Copies of this chain bind each other. A is one copy, B any other.
Amino acid sequence: MTEKNYRLTLDAIGNRDPAYLETIFSLGNGHFGIRAGDVLTPSATAGTIINGLYETAPIQYGEAAYGYAANHQTTVALPDLRVITIQNAAGEAFVTNALGEKTLDLRSGQLQESWLATDPNGATIQVQLTSVLQQPAGNLAALTYTVTAVTYTGKLTLAKTLKMPPQAAVSGDPRQARHLAPPAVHLAQPDAQTLVATIRTRQSRQVQQLQLAAAQGLTFAADLVPGAGITYPVVAVVNALNDESRLGLNVPVASLTKSVATAAKRYWQGFWAHSDASIQGDFRLDLAIHYNLFQLASAAGQDGKTNIAAKGLSGTGYEGHYFWDTEMYMLPFLTYTNPQIAKRLLEYRARILPQAQSRARLLGVDSGALFAWRTINGEEASAYFPAGTAQYHIDGDVAFAVDRYWQVTGDQAFMRSTGLQLLIATARFWAAFGSWSERAHQQTFEFFAVTGPDEYTALVNNNYYTNRIAKFNLATAAQLAAEFPTAAAQWQVTATEIADWRHKAAAVFLPYSDDLQINEQDDSAFHKPVWPFAQTPKDHYPLLLHYHPLTIYRYQVNKQADTLLADYLFDDLDAAQLQREYAYYESITTHDSSLSRSIFSALAARLGQQEKAYRYFMDTAAMDLVDLQQNAADGLHIANLGGSWLSLATGFGGLAIKSGVLSVTNHLPRQWQSLTLRVQIQGRLLQITYRPKKHR
């Protein structure tokens, strides 16, 4: 464990776009996040992001219909806590003249930055900033500014305030945040050291307070000569609504910044002690995976009321919404390494069950619950149902995550309450949503007009992934309701209902192509022509930005793993069939989704195709560090951060758990000297070390 493998500097990344760097060097603690904007000039894309805070507005439809999602929920970037004004003796502002230096220390959670800045006369100062957030999920940010005169001589005035970020230009990219009316901000300065911003969103009527405390005063002046410097510590409090978290008068700011830093360092050391994944023999990948795990943990809500947004707390892309990404891509790492966080995230799902039950009723399903495809408050916020609400599989994804948590932790108390409640509500949905059909004189249980994970195919019948996970969900609910009969009785589960789930689980239809001898993505997938890849210019990817959905839907083309994701999860194919399926689906997959490559890597490793697995893993592990998707400026691809751990642990490391029994298989690529994983299985911390097999 060498220090540099846990330290990200600008050297490690090629892109110098300021908005991109704001994302990459952002800090989060589950409760809030700060983007690493310029220290002297407010950026339209920087600001403070609070998990679960959103503004709302009615969704405008060109043509509306019954049951459409009613309201947007959109995360709101609040004032940038980091920005400071520095003026020369004439009251003229210094501006930074380059991106400066940045170092993110993953073992202490500290971001160290330094910039050179000039005034209109060309006089130069150096500004250094150390940022660290209170961990875990605390309210405090400790910001320590050190300003040193380089060529400047005279009075320097530092001033802190809180201003909403400037409005960014509106874009047509559906993946970016939309702009709603900015919240009302009311500033109060109870004393010279303290600034309190009370922020009210106009429609969702949420209230937040940000507080700044600066012992030297919100405005602080000093006379400097070249080489001389001053240190100016500030503590920011996020969500300072209650007296406990609000800082009082004469708070010892400098010592508080130190104690926040000390606690953060302790937290991250503990984190690595039970969560580390290390690759010996590839510095770049080792750093990348550490970075990914650091940022994934930083994104996770820990209060049971919040979850993990698609961009975490690193940006406002995807409007701060929570998706199935949590259960399928982020929770595996957290479940194996930080089960207490995983539990809180599953409790969030239980908390929004009432909204999910209403949603199921609105969709004409008279039992169970259907989770919103994208949401913050539990209500559906997807404004395009064919690639939103139609992704019913989210119910099965939640059930899968519950079962994984149960197998990894053996947490009976959780299963008796939240776990079983989620399994029952989702199983009831599938049982009521599906319908009986006949195939070759056999009764089959089928699901119509659904969309699987691959959003390049919409509104199909019997999507393989959906059906497979529904089958799992029904069977698992039946099994665990039988194992915990007293708990199940709480939710009126009867023996008849359990038998019904078992019956339906056994009868779920799974599309299979006799011609190709592989599982078929849906009832009609292989009948469509294959996308004309040879005629598609390279700059026409991602396809969704260059082709009408109708064009994409009429071809065989996948945005991401779909049937292969089921193969990955359920691991129920013989090697030959898996090999055939992999080859087939790989040939029609564009990886336009950031959720794709990690699964392709893990399956390739399982298939013994280490070179291919390695290539996919490289793109997965370093996706945001090389800006592969070219939109990291909007925020990190948090699901892919989790996906890179999936590739590493469950692909190369062959980590799996079945019926509570852990298995490990060595699929290491020859490039590495070794791989070390730390995981917790049923309360026991394990370290697993892999070395490449010889003579391959």
Interface on A for B, CB 8 Å cutoff?
59-69, 72, 172, 174, 362-364, 382-386, 388-390, 435-437, 446, 448-449, 458-459, 461, 523-524, 527-529, 544-551, 553-555
Question: Can you give 11 A-B contacts (C-beta < 8 A)?
Answer: A62-B383, A65-B174, A65-B544, A364-B551, A389-B550, A437-B527, A437-B528, A449-B554, A461-B524, A461-B527, A461-B528
Q: How far is the CA of A302 from the CA of B63 in the complex (A)?
A: 30
B390 adjacent to A448 (CB under 8 Å):
no
Residues of B within 8 A of A59 (CB): 62
In the bound complex, do residue A385 and residue B547 qualify as a contact, i.e. CB atoms below 8 Å apart? Answer: no
Interchain CB contact (< 8 A) of A459 among B446, B528, B546, B553: B553
Q: What residues on B are CB-neighbors of A389 within 8 Å?
A: 548, 550
Q: Tell which of B62, B363, B528 touches A384, judged by Cβ atoms closer than 8 Å.
A: B62
B364 touches A547 (CB 8 A): yes
With a cutoff of 8 Å between Cβ atoms, the chain B residues found around residue A547 in the complex are 66-67, 364
Asked if A363 and B548 sit within 8 Å, CB to CB, the answer is: yes
Interface of A is mostly: loop
Q: How far is the CB of A433 from chain B (nearest CB, A)?
A: 8
A549 touches B382 (CB 8 A): no
Sorted from nearest, which 7 A-B pairs have the closest CB atoms?
A62-B383, A67-B548, A364-B551, A60-B60, A448-B554, A63-B384, A449-B553
User: What B residues does A448 contact at CB under 8 A?
Assistant: 527-529, 553-555
Q: Is the CB of A550 within 8 A of B390?
A: yes
Complex CA distance for A549 and B386, rounded to whole angstroms = 10
| Chain B residue nearest to A385 in the complex (CB) | B550
Q: What residues of B have a CB within 8 angstroms of the CB of A446 in the complex?
A: 527
CB pair A459 B459 closer than 8 Å: yes
Alpha-carbon separation in the docked complex, A362 to B69 (Å): 28
Bound-state Cα–Cα, A551 to B449, Å: 8
* CA of A69 to CA of B550, assembled, Å: 13
Query: Contact between A66 and B550 (Cβ–Cβ < 8 Å)?
Result: no
Q: Is B66 in contact with A548, judged by CB distance below 8 angstroms? A: yes
Q: Give CA–CA (A157, B387) in the complex, Å.
A: 63
Neighbour of A363 across the interface among B172, B523, B550, CB < 8 A: B550
Q: Nearest-CB distance from A58 to chain B (Å)? A: 9
Q: Nearest CB to that of A438 among chain B residues?
A: B527
| Complex interface: chain B residues within 8 A of A544 (CB) | 65-66
Q: How far is the CB of A476 from chain B (nearest CB, A)?
A: 24
CB distance from A410 to the nearest CB of B (A): 38
A72 touches B65 (CB 8 A): no
Q: Check if A459 sits within 8 Å of B461, measured CB to CB.
A: no
Given contacts A385-B550, A386-B386, contact A524 B527 (CB under 8 A): no
| Residue of chain B at shortest CB distance from A365 | B551
Q: Is there an interface contact between A174 and B554, defined as CB atoms closer than 8 Å?
A: no
**Would you call B549 and A385 a contact (CB within 8 A)?**
yes
Q: Which residues of B contact A437 (CB under 8 A)?
A: 527-529
What chain B residues lie within 8 Å of A382 (beta carbons)?
63
Residues in B with CB closer than 8 Å to A385 are 548-550
Known: A61-B62, A448-B553, A449-B553. 5 other contacts (CB 8 A): A62-B68, A66-B547, A364-B551, A437-B528, A523-B524
* Nearest B residue (CB) for A70: B62
Known pairs A459-B458, A547-B67, A553-B448; A529 contacts B363 (CB<8 A): no
Which residues of the partner chain B approach A66 to less than 8 Å between Cβ atoms? 544-549
Chain B nearest CB from A624 CB (Å) reads 24
Q: Which of A68, A382, A437, A449 has the most CB of B within 10 A?
A: A449
- Docked Cα-Cα span, A386 to B460, in Å, equals 13
Query: By the criterion CB–CB under 8 Å, are B384 and A459 in contact?
Result: no
With the chains together, A172 CA to B555 CA distance in Å? 35
Please judge, given known A-B contacts A551-B363, A553-B449, whether A62 and B67 are in contact too, CB under 8 Å: no
Q: A62 touches which one: B72, B528, B549 (CB < 8 A)?
A: B72
